[in-house]
Amino acid sequence: MKGSVEIGKVMGIPIKLHISFILILPLFVWTFAEKSPVPFGFKGMESNYLFSALAVVLLFTCVVFHELSHSSVAIRNGIKIDSITLFIFGGVASIEKIPRDPNVESRMALAGPGMSIAIGATFFTSFLISSSLLDGVSGINLLEGFYSTLLTMEGYEGAVSEITVLFFILGYLNMFLAIFNLLPAFPMDGGRFLRAYFAKRMSYLKATRKAVYFGKVIAVLMGIFGFLVNPFLVLIAFFIYIGATEEEKATIIDISLEGTKVGDLFSTDVMSISPDASITELTVLMFKEKHMGYPVVGEGIDSGNVLGVVTLHDIRGIAMEDRDSMKVSDVMSENVICTSPEDDAVDALKLMSKNNIGRLIVMENEAMIGILSRTDLMKAIELKRER
């Protein structure tokens, strides 16, 4: 995911922090410390900022465990997990491919809420024990007191210690996380379980469309409710709606390209350029052929070898007066991303998206035999959708 920083690995899976998450952390800490009274925060308590920071760190650690539980089920079923990213609304596991087996998808979907429930129950148990041992107060009585004054939440700052409040917050929020994720709002966990349920009774595409419909309806209702009650819910509803739409598009693409190989689509009419050509010659070629990128093919002892790739992006910053003297070899990228005729077309499209490029060089026996462009793939998708 763009705008993310890797902070480590768990089970071999990179854990990343999105820039939105990094920016929102101080706001979460401030909210717990200054705006949220006991037991949902530490307002008025002596070590409010220390325990607020600890609560935020532990809360998002719990989110990582939530995502890891999804990932562990996926890995056991031979599905690769590229990374787990924490962002403003929680965590997202980047899965190589969503399983078509409804049983596998349903297990994956329920694993996350199941982990959150287990973590929440552990913290609630710790809350009950700590309130008795540290504060001399029955945890059950505290809960009754908390919820009998739910609208004011004042007067409990001296009744319990920060550690007891910490356990309550983490127990409560993990339970909330589990329940919220079980809403049948695709692409949330409950929505994925719903698709798995539908997929046992109809085609995968129809099941996806039906789950997406439910997800969008819930997103709209959540948005209306959020507009009246809490603007934060409007943002969540927006991301659910967009996520459902994008997942539907991705499913259509996967199904449209199913069974199609790169060899069925690539073009053998390859326009290339010499590394010794000037930038001016390259711009003339781009203007004439209307292609924004070209493989750089060697001459002499490197004859026929692909040395790199040059695109419009590589030459945009070069001044006009320097374009005659500079060569293609000065600006080309030597990171040549390739595919083969036997690769699946859908994997080629994912490779393009991952590297933010518009074409792949098709190689066979270490020789370039053609080019596969994003346009080639889009045409194939459109034709199959028409069928």
Give, to the nearest 10 degrees, the angle between helix 48-76 and helix 102-133. Answer: 150
How far apart (Å, rounded) are the C-alpha atoms in residues 125 and 151?
25
The 3-state DSSP class for residue 117 equals helix
Q: Which run of H or of E encompasses 246?
A: helix 231-256
Place of tokens 């809350």: 127
359-364, strands of its sheet edge to edge: 338-339, 359-364, 367-373
How far apart (Å, rounded) are the C-alpha atoms in residues 27 and 31?
6
State the Cα angle at 184 between 70 and 62, rounded to 5°: 35
How far apart (Å, rounded) are the C-alpha atoms in residues 83 and 1?
9
How far apart (Å, rounded) are the C-alpha atoms in residues 335 and 197?
43
DSSP 8-state assignment for residue 339: E
Question: For residue 20, with 0-12 CB atoms within 10 Å meaning exposed, 13-18 middle and 19 or more buried, which class applies?
Answer: middle
How far apart (Å, rounded) are the C-alpha atoms in residues 283 and 302?
24
How far apart (Å, rounded) are the C-alpha atoms in residues 196 and 92?
19
| Residues involved in catalysis | 67
How far apart (Å, rounded) are the C-alpha atoms in residues 174 and 156?
22
How far apart (Å, rounded) are the C-alpha atoms in residues 313 and 19?
25
Find residue 273's DSSP bridge partners. 296
Going by C-alpha positions, the residue among 35, 109, 34, 41 that lies closest to residue 71 is: 109
Going by C-alpha positions, the residue among 258, 248, 245 that lies closest to residue 206 is: 248
**Number of CB atoms found within 10 A of residue 305's CB:** 13
